[in-house]
Amino acid sequence: MTQPRVVVGAAVMAGDKVLAAARSYPPELAGLWEFPGGKVEPGETEAEALRRECREELGVEIEVGERVGDDLVTGDGKFLVRIYLAEVRSGEPRAVEHSRLRWLTVAEFDDVAWLPGNRQFLDSLRELLTEP
């Protein structure tokens, strides 16, 4: 059996909010919300892939922080999803490849329809954002 392809996502933080992005494609996923990111290319580290994806998808430079939650295997074992905390270092996020961006507080997490593969990370983020 082949190893799953690693997909990384950035939980981009600003104060008590996290950035969510609405997919514009493919049609069956359009309108669902996710953490920006994508596939790790051969020879790239996960952090390098996240920085590249955020440049391409959001037009920003980020600093990658710690992992959030546990690994998620999805797509019938084809993908291994990992989410990392991140902060914008330069630029202002804009929807380059997504239809919309939205900064969400913990109380607003359930206001958007998340991709199933991203929803499982929300509890871990809630814990991080509500720690005293």
pLDDT digits (tens, 9 = 90+) for 10-62: 999 999 999 999 999 999 999 999 999 999 999 999 999 999 999 999 999 99
Closest C-alpha to 99, from 113, 117, 89: 113
Judged against a pLDDT cut of 90, whether residue 1 lies above it is answered with no
Q: What is the pTM of this model?
A: 0.93
Q: Is the pLDDT of residue 132 over 70?
A: no
